[in-house]
Amino acid sequence: MLDLSGREAVVTGGTGALGRAVVGRLVAAGATVHVPVFAAEELEAFPYREHHAVRLHEGLDLSAEADVARLFGATSSLYASIQVAGGFAMGPIASTGLDVWEHLMRMNATTCFLSCREAVKAMDGREGRIVNVTARPVLVPTALMTAYAASKAAVAALTLSLAEELSESSIWVNAIVPSIIDTEANRAAMPDADYAAWPKPEEIAETVAFLASPQNTATRGALVPVYGKS
């Protein structure tokens, strides 16, 4: 049985569809969860804003070193850091501007790097778990996603390299690799798709929570597909 009682976690992107599911699963397992918030409107659909085990940190930019340091500095005994925050864009490379490339790199790779770095500092040699989020186009070539796939490939490479760097410690580093997730936004963007095949946020959260838990005693350096039936 998943047990995170007395454990402290950070979930970036915790107010989004997948992030909410992850926060809910960790809280249900007994964790205290820190959630950074960039804009106040993110909290309108966030069901855990009044939860006694959730600590909100408002006005933080996860691509800013000082803000990320402040977030992780607010933890007292960090056990798990889960990097869900990120961005998405697609289109042919000929019409992909440098601004889009730099935005995706900042939203996906930079935020993950800074959060992983500060998590390792906060764990300070103790046992811990780090879980990142890449994307299926990293493993399965997908047209019209060059910038997005590259930014998520950076997350995958960061994950594997950090797992090796920490291999002699008790900090396990892994990443999940989702396909299209069944969210309201994705349904609206693809109204003719087969939603039944898409993995649900709550299903993916189960995998994330296990990788982030002390019950995970062996898995490190893995890119774990969470495709559902898609």
pLDDT tens-digit series, residues 93-115? 999 999 999 999 999 999 999 99
What class does CATH assign to 8-226? alpha beta
Mean pLDDT of 145-165: 98
The CA distance from 166 to 117, in Å, is 12
Whether the pLDDT of residue 185 is over 90: the answer is no
State the burial class of residue 66 (Cβ atoms within 10 Å of its Cβ: 0-12, 13-18, 19+). exposed
Which of 80, 167, 59 minimizes the C-alpha distance to 122? 80
φ/ψ of 214, rounded to 5, equals -70, -15
Has residue 217 got a pLDDT over 90? Answer: yes
Contact between residue 16 and residue 202 where contact means Cβ atoms under 8 Å apart: no
Phi-psi domain of 75 (left: phi exceeds 0; alpha: psi -120 through 50; beta: other): beta
Is residue 186's pLDDT more than 90? no
DSSP state of 106: I
Rounded CA separation 148/98 (Å) = 12
Q: Which residues pair with 83 in a beta bridge?
A: 12, 132
pTM here is 0.97
Determine the average pLDDT of the residues in 75-102: 97
User: Pairing mode, if any, of strands 171-178 and 78-83?
Assistant: unpaired
193 vs 43, higher pLDDT:
43
How many other β-carbons are positioned within 10 Å of the β-carbon of residue 194? 9
- With a cut of 90, say whether residue 91 has pLDDT above it: yes
The pLDDT score that the predictor gives to residue 1 is 85
- Say yes or no to pLDDT of 137 above 90: yes
- Which pLDDT band holds residue 193 (cuts at 50, 70, 90)? confident
Going by C-alpha positions, the residue among 172, 38, 36, 153 that lies closest to residue 104 is 153
Residue type, 173: V
**Mean pLDDT value of segment 21-42:** 97
